[in-house]
Amino acid sequence: MTRLVHLSDLHFGYERETLIYPLLDRVNQAKADLVVVTGDLTHRGRSAQFAQAAAFLRQIEAPMIAVPGNHDIPLYKLADRMTKPYKRYRRAIAQNMEPVGHVGNLRVQGVNSVDPMAWQRGVLTAAQMRRVVQGIDPDCINIAALHHPMQQRPEVDKALMRGAPEALALFELQGIQVVLTGHLHIWSVGAFQGPEGRGILQVQGGTALCARESDLQNEFAVLDFDGPELIIQRHIAPMDERGFRDPQIIRFARIDRRWRKLG
């Protein structure tokens, strides 16, 4: 069995301060083989916020990879967003914004879906798609980790990331099996309705630490890959409670190249 922890949308600078150490405790208790952070480490991409995020990440007792989110680049300083959008991210978090994590039989490819030209929406370019599929390992469960979802529920009022339908079709055809995303502060897990059927499972994380009350709760996920089965623990901390509840358990199995929910 190989274990991942998926964190997203930490939003340091607008974080739920009382939940920082309960979150760290839960993450470290999971004893993950790899922690994957899918963007929005900060709320406004400021140096002090990146310092907070970096201090938090240093306390995670597991290997970790991260990708940026749209909140990790300047919003109001347009010149900086156009000319040096990732300067602070690179200085505080990592130079490589599309890192690879390889643990056990899992290969996780980070993808930077941020579009400085359209601050919120996100984009996957043809070159990025090629890099992802060129790195696919046929002997592994191949996972893509990015900030923006590749498919959204009909009720979501934000525009879907540019390039998402094309990337979904290509990734499914070439053998990506799981996609980890964030951005919407809404939990969602399920198999894509792609051209090949249900060959990719998207785990869309909610916000791990943002203090915005309208989000109602903070959460993160633990993913256990065991042969063809995937067991997901969803850890939830409601805004009106002091910490995390016992996790909800969701089970999937990959059968004939399709994901099926169990139970």
CATH number of the domain that 181 lies in?
3.60.21.10
Q: Are 133 and 171 in contact (CB under 8 A)?
A: yes
Q: Rounded distance, CA 129 to CA 173, Å?
A: 12
pTM for the model stands at 0.96
| Banded model confidence at residue 154, pLDDT cuts 50, 70, 90 | confident
Q: What pLDDT score does 77 carry?
A: 65
Number of structural domains the chain divides into: 1
Q: Rounded distance, CA 60 to CA 204, Å?
A: 21
Provide the β-strand partners of residue 102.
107
Given a cut of 70, whether residue 80 has pLDDT beyond it is no
Tens digits of per-residue pLDDT, 194-220?
Answer: 555 678 999 999 999 999 999 999 999
Q: Are 58 and 93 in contact (CB under 8 A)?
A: no
Given a cut of 90, whether residue 176 has pLDDT beyond it is yes
- Give the pairing of strands 64-67 and 34-38: parallel
Q: Rounded distance, CA 70 to CA 112, Å?
A: 10
Where does residue 205 rank: exposed (0-12), middle (13-18), buried (19+ CB within 10 A)?
buried
Q: Are 66 and 31 in contact (CB under 8 A)?
A: no
Q: What is the DSSP letter of 26?
A: H
Q: Rounded distance, CA 212 to CA 71, Å?
A: 14
Give the residue numbers spanning the domain of 188.
Answer: 2-262
Q: What pLDDT score does 207 carry?
A: 99
Q: Which residue has the higher pLDDT, 143 or 153?
A: 143
- With vertex at residue 89, the alpha carbon angle to CA 224 and CA 75, rounded to the nearest 5 degrees, is 110
Q: What pLDDT score does 118 carry?
A: 78
| Banded model confidence at residue 84, pLDDT cuts 50, 70, 90 | confident
Ramachandran angles phi, psi of 130, nearest 5°: -60, -40
